Amino acid sequence: MTSQTVNPQPGLVDMKVTQSSRYLIKRTGEKVFLECVQDMDHERMFWYRQDPGLGLRLIYFSYDVKVNEKGDIPEGYSVSREKKERFSLILGSASTNQTSMYLCASSLSTAQHSHILSAQKEQIKREEALTQGRCWLQWHIRAK
């Protein structure tokens, strides 16, 4: 495990973030477990992958403990959030098409969304993750 204090943008509060190994090389078919831990009491947590030329793509996100929703590319992945500060991403069986950079982010909940239409929710989720994220971690995974 690696712990570090980060301050990703001027004016934001320092935080402690913890991650398992930053670089992973796994054999095809092996299970991969990535854990993101934040200490800011954030309700929302996000898992992304970034491939060359494609930008960030949302895999899963969580509004709170045990409340997880699929993102744009959930196939081949599952998540677990048993505690507010921990959001785990699981690759059930690593494959070469999952070779990528994976990122975790967290943010505060700043708006009530129960009255917002589904299409608007999608836009809000992305904006919150990209503009209000306080905790960003990255892993580089290569399946061989």
CA distances from 12 to 8, 17, 133 (A): 7, 14, 10
Predicted local distance difference test score (pLDDT) of residue 20? 59
Of the candidates 140, 141, 136, the residue with the CA atom closest to the CA atom of residue 47: 136
Q: Identify whether the C-beta of residue 71 lies closer than 8 Å to the C-beta of residue 61.
A: yes
The answer to pTM > 0.85 is: no
Cβ–Cβ < 8 Å for 64, 79 = no
Instruction: Give the count of domains, the chain.
Output: 1
| Domain housing 17 | 2-143
Per-residue pLDDT of the chain (144 residues; tens, 9 = 90+): 444 444 444 444 555 556 656 778 888 899 999 988 888 888 899 999 998 898 889 999 999 999 999 999 999 999 999 999 999 999 988 888 898 888 888 888 744 333 333 334 444 444 444 444 445 556 666 666
What torsion do the CA atoms of 65, 100, 71, 56 make, to the nearest 10 degrees? 110
d(CA 53, CA 34): 23
Q: Could you tell me the CATH number of the domain that includes residue 98?
A: 2.60.40.10
